Amino acid sequence: MAKLFGREYTRKELMERVGSVDQVGGARLIRLADGNEDNARAVLFRTGTGMSFIANADRGLDIVAAEWRGASLCWRSHTGDVGSSRFESLGLGWLRSFFGGLVMTCGSTYAGSPVEDPDTIEGGPLVQLKEGKLEWQPTGSLGLHGRFSHTPVKNLYVDGAWEGDDYVFWAQGKVREAMVFGPNMVVDRRVSARLGENRLWLHDVVTNEGWEPQEHMYLYHINLGFPVVDGGGEYIFPASESKPRTPIAAEHFDTWTQFPDPIPHEEEWVYYHRCRSMDDGTVYVAFINRSFDGGRGLGVYIKYNLRQFPELVQWKLPAQGHYVTGIEPSTNLVDGRVKERNEGRLTVLEPQESREYQVEIGVLTSADEIDDMVARIRAL
């Protein structure tokens, strides 16, 4: 049943009181229409609890904004929403259209740092004529974090339906990363929520529809921001192994579980974690701010499966204006595809093979909910 305004309603009880279910919540197709948003298709979700979020269908149905009762759950960068046609694929060009948002997906053929990969054909001109024959001319360049989030969804389907006394609503479609003589990867994506709840689900099925083995990397870049993120905020991870990625991160390693007040001119700190899980691979992690709203507390939890995402990347950036943390379930570390290949962590999808990924993201709206989640995580 939907819990709304302090009580639970059956389907019959609720529909007796409204003309349409969208009076209290649901998913609705909208357009972003200003500046470099490029009139993008987007889907507005409202759960009826004060939780709302926007999934941008021209950016792979990534979640570009989210809030609970007027409090942003995510960091929004100063680029704002940028249309997929403005993607700059090489080097750090990805950052020119990094909106932040609650979820930005990295992959599906590469993710992490830009690298020189001598065998890649994904970065630029592919062939040249030599003695009347075409020859491969790989550029050797892969940019930051891949192409997924700069690819529009096809076959977009936005709807909702009653499942007994639960009203579920969704947006779904296909994201294809493809090129002639290159990858042919398809992601079937579904973003969904349930009326009366403070959580959402992201479910992806990634398939290599090509006829050659394809290297595959996948990461959910989940970006939390003020007011969830503030000085004194805490990370609650069931970490069994943790390590800094860089020397500057190592300098702050003893405080990786804490988030500071803004620091002028600070650089990013990145840490790698291996987490404990339930027997079925389920992992919970959270970021909490106990001082929010005079001690009421506010937090965000993430539920995922260790068998899908063996790595957890923690991105801490407490700089002025770039006041954000990323909690990032991943198939790999983020030092680039070449290193992942050389160190044996790179996934390869065989022709027509699929992999499934899913994540649940929820809001912790009180001190009691925070305490319950902390106890759950510490029991892992």
| CATH number reported for the structural domain that contains residue 174 in this entry | 2.70.98.10
Tell me if 56 is assigned to some domain: yes
215 and 337 in contact (C-beta within 8 Å)? yes
Distance between CA atoms of residues 332 and 341, nearest Å: 10
Tell me if 11 is assigned to some domain: no
104 and 89 in contact (C-beta within 8 Å)? no
Tell me if 346 is assigned to some domain: yes
Tell me if 126 is assigned to some domain: yes
The H or E element spanning position 345 is: none
Distance between CA atoms of residues 160 and 171, nearest Å: 9
Number of structural domains (the chain) is 1
**Is 50 exceeded by the pLDDT of residue 126?**
no
The C-alpha R_g of the chain, in whole angstroms, comes to: 21
Tell me if 14 is assigned to some domain: no
Tell me if 1 is assigned to some domain: no
**Is 80 exceeded by the pLDDT of residue 128?**
no
Q: CA torsion angle for 324, 259, 319, 96 (degrees, to 10)?
A: -20
**Is 60 exceeded by the pLDDT of residue 136?**
no
Work out whether strand 323-330 and strand 214-225 pair parallel, antiparallel, or are unpaired.
antiparallel
What values do phi and psi take at 76, rounded to 5? -115, 120
Tell me if 128 is assigned to some domain: yes
User: Which residue intervals of the chain are DSSP H helices?
Assistant: 11-15, 247-251, 292-295, 337-342, 367-378
Tell me if 125 is assigned to some domain: yes
**Is 60 exceeded by the pLDDT of residue 134?**
no
Domain that holds residue 84: 22-378
| pLDDT tens track for 154-173 | 999 999 999 999 999 999 99
What pTM does this model have? Answer: 0.94
Percent of the chain clearing pLDDT 70 (strictly above): 94
| pLDDT tens track for 272-298 | 999 999 999 999 999 999 999 999 999
Residue-wise DSSP of 232-295: TEEEE--EEEEEESSHHHHHTGGGTTEE-S-BTTPPPEEEEEEE---TT-EEEEEEEETTHHHH
